[in-house]
Amino acid sequence: MTYTKASWIGLAVPAALGVLGVGVAVAWVLSGPGAPFELRGRWEGGTDVAAVPPGPPGVFTKGAGEPAENIPRAWTQFLGPKRNGVSMDFTVLAERWPAGGPPVVWSVDLGPGHAGPIVYDGRVFILDYEAADDKAKQGDVLRCLSLADGKEIWRYWYAVPLADDHGISRTVPAIADDYVVTFGPSCHAMCLDALTGDYQWGMSLVGRYQTRVPEWYASQCPLIEEGRAIIATGGRKLMIAVYLAPEDQGTPTIVWEVDNPLPGKGSQGLQITHSSVTAMTFKGKRVYLYCTTKGVVGVGEEQTDEGEMRGKLLWRYANWRPGINAASPVVLDGERFVVTAAEGALVLKMVQGPKGQIGVEEVARTRARVLSSYHQTPILDGGYLYVVLSQKAGSRRGQLACLDVRGDEITTLWTSGRDDRFRWGPYVKAGDRMLLLHDETGELTMARVSPDGYTRLARAKLLSGGDAWAPMALVGGRLLLRDVTRMICVDLRANRSAPAGAKHTE
């Protein structure tokens, strides 16, 4: 099956944007023919919360846990080392599981939510929520656990009283250069020393930028590049870059801020969604892609005459406003990327104008049956896109699909079939294996996948709490997964007598 191809109609005029009070950023907005699915015109809902800073009087607590040894630093951000859902380690996974499923190494209770873990130097980091009866004790808590046994090494807590709204915690931290950056459910950004837990900086985006917290709380996972955290803010600014290492302890050092072309309040403004920032390189320039409430944006960087870096809005494509934007953009090649939602997908291509300005043009739109994703971000591997289709995909809903996206004709190669549906659960790829979690039943499926087809190898029920939406992490043959109130670590290695993360050949 092939996608529906859109034709060009025109290019919108560049949008004015202030840079240091004066300046212009080019915004090329291309409108195609009518979309084959309905686009929502405005963002509904939202959650009003107090702007509580994440710094002092935060509380640091030391635990008895110790980091696991001989574990690679292999899952350091949302969707893994390359932010694409593909494992990079060499650990061989077992072909089959015992009758009761793969062994559970450890489990820990969590506050209500869907936050996903990362792993760094034998440590597991997760931004949890402390849902105490006493509101004064409620708040975000960054927990550092041992990958060996799940024991807590340390935790850092700050007060944010919130009500349960289909869970509370929702994001995945990012880590680099021994700094860990978090983004809380009510839009608090924070940076700590990953090894010691020492507080570096923090800020409330609601207080600083008048960011609007999305309905069901924030789900954006921070991106780290070249010693800086890249965060979409909405509100007065569109996107910011913050140094990991602050010039003054406790105060964030802002590298650049990009003005918001539509800074209106509430649903009238250009605000953040549940999507996360994706980086791509176009003609040697780094571009940060993000799905806002009023279209997709591309932000770049340029150097001033004084040698400083500043951010710049390159373009905004306004004709993409699905009901819920949770999946992040996926880069297909050096020019094209795709954004997905429950209703379908949009393929965009970046282009360069005669004066070097960068814009986008629409390549294609698909219906949900061909390409769609509600909660999770699709996985690109070797020119093939793996995606669990949304609830609007008709008879294919919840099935894993493999699409050939190497050329202009995007084609469905196969789907996993009606007996292998995964609804809204997460999935990761390791070599020719795919690990997929059904969010309602708590069943984990291991399958062999390639462009040639899908073969289920094993299936086991591992969770029972429901709403298992959090991204998983795979490190050294150990898989971290969770439901709404519990996280477990299971051992998937073929040779469990070898140290986790060791190379093994059959």
Tokens describing residue 501: 């993360």
Q: Quick one: how far is CA 97 from the chain centroid?
A: 29
With H, G, I as helix, E, B as strand and everything else as coil, classify residue 172.
Answer: coil
Report the sign of the C-alpha dihedral through residues 281, 284, 288, 294, in that order.
negative
d(CA 112, CA 129): 7
pLDDT digits (tens, 9 = 90+) for 139-148: 999 999 999 9
330-331 and 309-317 strand pairing:
unpaired
Q: Quick one: how far is CA 240 from the chain centroid?
A: 17
Walk along the chain (506 residues) and give the pLDDT tens digit of each residue: 333 333 333 333 333 333 333 332 333 333 333 333 333 333 333 455 556 778 888 999 999 999 999 877 789 999 999 999 999 988 999 999 999 999 999 999 999 999 999 999 999 999 999 999 998 899 999 999 999 999 999 999 999 999 999 999 999 999 999 999 999 999 999 999 999 999 999 999 999 999 999 999 999 999 999 999 999 999 999 999 999 999 999 999 999 999 999 998 877 899 999 999 999 999 999 999 999 999 999 999 998 888 888 999 999 999 999 999 999 999 999 999 999 999 999 999 999 999 999 999 999 999 999 999 999 999 999 999 999 999 999 999 999 999 999 987 889 999 999 999 999 999 999 999 999 999 999 999 999 999 999 999 999 999 999 999 999 999 999 999 999 999 999 999 998 754 444 433 32
pLDDT digits (tens, 9 = 90+) for 178-227: 999 999 999 999 999 999 999 999 999 999 999 999 999 999 999 999 99
d(CA 122, CA 477): 13
Name residue 98's beta-bridge partners.
Answer: none
- Opening angle at CA 387, ends 384 and 393, nearest 5: 125
Please report, for residues 75, 111, 127, 315, 390, the alpha-carbon distance to residue 326 in angstroms, rounded to integers and kept in the order given: 21, 22, 19, 21, 12
Tokens describing residue 228: 């800086």
Write the Ramachandran bin of 304: left for phi over 0, alpha for psi from -120 to 50, otherwise beta: beta
**336, 361 in Cβ contact below 8 A?**
no
d(CA 384, CA 254): 38
Domains identified in the chain and CATH numbers: 4-59+79-491 (2.130.10.10)
- Opening angle at CA 199, ends 196 and 201, nearest 5: 140
d(CA 38, CA 341): 12
Under DSSP, the state recorded for 251 is: B
Which of 314, 227, 218, 229 lies closest to 272 in space, CA to CA? 218
Please report, for residues 31, 277, 329, 399, the alpha-carbon distance to residue 232 in angstroms, rounded to integers and kept in the order given: 24, 7, 14, 31
